[in-house]
């Protein structure tokens, strides 16, 4: 584990939340690796807080699926097998289809405009070649759709699912040859939503996620 975990003390939030976000970031960025133990005292001294907020943060990571704990042994960062990834992607596909379908029914001018901006941003970011930035732009594009779906719980679940595959997603986005297809798919989703053609957008999103699924699974197989 890197030894430069640092708290964002900027917010006036309970420490448990700060710790939670800090650890989550560290896990998603790969600074703490799957299988690595999350030891309370160690983390506490590293972050300069007591064990109490650490423990509560771990409980939260646990429920988010980013950590697994065994009683009296402690917590470790969740490992992801190919099967786990398949499972997550199956769920994500179903929920993404739901979300875009709902968005299609509810979407208004406001969100369409935001979506257009996000679309252009994404296109722009692919030219920069900065993977982090591309990932961010992609997240923003899909976030607009989730917001338009007007179902906070669904948005929550999708964000959580996205987290769980984030590490592999970044790898996936390193492959530049897929950028044109991604842009095209985003464009089609936007067009479909604008037309209010529910069947079409669900179809496209379905393929969109399937494509991801194939690539991400390849990446995992290589890693194993």
Partner DNA sequence: ACAGGAAAAAGTGTATACAAAATACAGGAG
Partner DNA sequence: CTCCTGTATTTTGTATACACTTTTTCCTGT
**CA dist., res. 51 & res. 56, Å (int):** 9
Quick note: the x/- pattern for a second copy over 135-174, rule CB under 8 A, is ----------------xxxx--x-----------------
**Cα Rg for the chain, rounded, in angstroms?**
19
Q: For residues 218 and 222, give the distance between their C-alpha atoms in angstroms, rounded to a whole number.
A: 6
User: Between 72 and 153, whose beta carbon lies closer to DNA?
Assistant: 72
Tell whether residue 41 is a contact of DNA (CB under 7 A). Answer: yes
The residue (of 89 and 119) whose beta carbon lies closer to a second copy is 89
147 close to 77: Cβ distance less than 8 angstroms: no
91 binds DNA per the rule CB under 7 A: no
User: Any contact of residue 71 with a second copy (CB under 8 A)?
Assistant: yes
* Residue 187 within binding range of a second copy, rule CB under 8 A: no
Of 5, 28, 49, 155, the residue at the interface with DNA (CB under 7 A) is 49
Task: Decide whether 157 or 200 has the Cβ nearer to a second copy.
Answer: 157
Q: How far apart, in whole angstroms, are the C-alpha atoms of residue 20 and residue 52?
A: 12
8 Å CB contact between 202 and 103: no
Identify which of residues 42 and 175 has a Cβ nearer to DNA in the complex: 42
Smallest separation (angstroms) from DNA to the CB of 42: 6
d(CA 16, CA 23): 10
According to DSSP, residue 49 is labeled S
- b/e map of 139-154 (b: 16 or more CB within 10 Å)? bbbbbbbbbbbebeeb
Q: Is 102 in the site for a second copy (CB under 8 A)?
A: yes
Residues of the shown chain interacting with a second copy in the complex, contacts defined by CB under 8 A: 13-14, 16-17, 52, 55-56, 59-60, 62-65, 71-72, 84, 87-88, 90-91, 94-95, 97-98, 102, 151-154, 157
């Amino acid at each position: 584990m890197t030894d430069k975990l640092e708290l964002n003390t900027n917010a006036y939030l309970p420490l448990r939340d700060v710790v939670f976000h800090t650890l989550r970031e560290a896990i998603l960025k790969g600074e703490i690796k799957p299988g690595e133990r999350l030891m309370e005292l160690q983390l506490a001294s590293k972050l300069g807080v007591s064990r109490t907020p650490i423990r509560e943060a771990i409980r939260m990571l646990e429920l988010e699926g980013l950590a697994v704990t065994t009683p009296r042994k402690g917590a470790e960062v969740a490992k992801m097998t190919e099967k786990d990834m398949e499972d997550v992607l199956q769920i994500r596909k179903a929920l993404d289809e739901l979300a875009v379908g709902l968005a299609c029914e509810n979407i208004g001018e406001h969100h369409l405009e935001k979506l257009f901006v996000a679309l252009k941003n994404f296109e722009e970011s692919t030219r920069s070649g900065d993977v982090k930035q591309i990932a961010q732009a992609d997240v923003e594009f899909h976030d607009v759709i989730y917001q338009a779906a007007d179902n906070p719980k669904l948005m929550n679940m999708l964000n959580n699912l996205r987290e769980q595959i984030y590490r592999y997603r970044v790898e996936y986005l390193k492959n530049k040859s897929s950028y044109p297809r991604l842009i095209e798919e985003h464009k089609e989703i936007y067009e479909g939503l604008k037309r209010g053609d529910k069947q079409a957008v669900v179809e496209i999103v379905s393929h969109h996620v399937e494509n991801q699924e194939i690539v991400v699974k390849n990446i995992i197989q290589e890693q194993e």
